[in-house]
Amino acid sequence: MKPFASTLRLHAAVLAAVVFFDQITKQWARARFTGQGGQPDYDAHIAVLGDWLHLRLVYNYGASFGMRPQEILPFLHPVAFFALITLAAIVLLLLYYRKLEPRDKAGRLAIVLVLSGAIGNNLIDRPIFHKVTDFIDVGMPGVHPRFPVFNVADAAVTTGILLLFLAPLFLRKKNPAAPAREETSDAV
């Protein structure tokens, strides 16, 4: 088996696993925390790590951190807006994935994580529910406001973006064609 083919299969498996785990956890959150009339029960939550980590249901009709970029094009339905942006991002990310050197494993994995998050939020949640299900609530005890509530897809995108920026720091560029230069001293 060629190394590229096995890497591609591994990355496809990672993408599928992240999307699956994202959707399963969102389904659980909707089933566990939905109140009367299909709205989130804002009083219901599970404290996982005291005040550091709670699980509670919040619906996001915009983008990350409550931003609403879909209002840039008000004539376009928000679902269509996010689908078009996501499809364009997928094309660009796939082109970048192909451009990366095979030894840039961290960069390629980062792209897979960003893709999986984009698919989970913008190509599954938005067309089906017209909103994104968020349920992971992180914060520091006594500090307000808390971090915006997020989900597994958001965590994958954030991890992927961080990895994209950090990967070049760990990828040593070796140029075997260029011999190492010796320092010479002109002092007599």
For residue 77, pLDDT beyond 90: no
Q: Where are the domains of the chain?
A: 3-167
Catalytic residues: 134, 154
**What is the pLDDT, as a whole number, of residue 74?**
73
Least confident of 33-37, 58-62, 63-67: 63-67
**What are 78-132's pLDDT values in tens digits?**
778 888 888 999 999 999 999 988 888 899 999 999 999 999 998 999 999 989 9
Q: Which residues have CB under 8 Å from 50's CB, separation 6+?
A: 141
**What are 121-175's pLDDT values in tens digits?**
989 999 999 899 999 999 999 898 898 999 999 999 999 999 999 877 766 554 4
Determine the average pLDDT of the residues in 14-37: 96
**What is the pLDDT, as a whole number, of residue 70?**
61
* C-beta separation of 171 from 104 below 8 A: yes
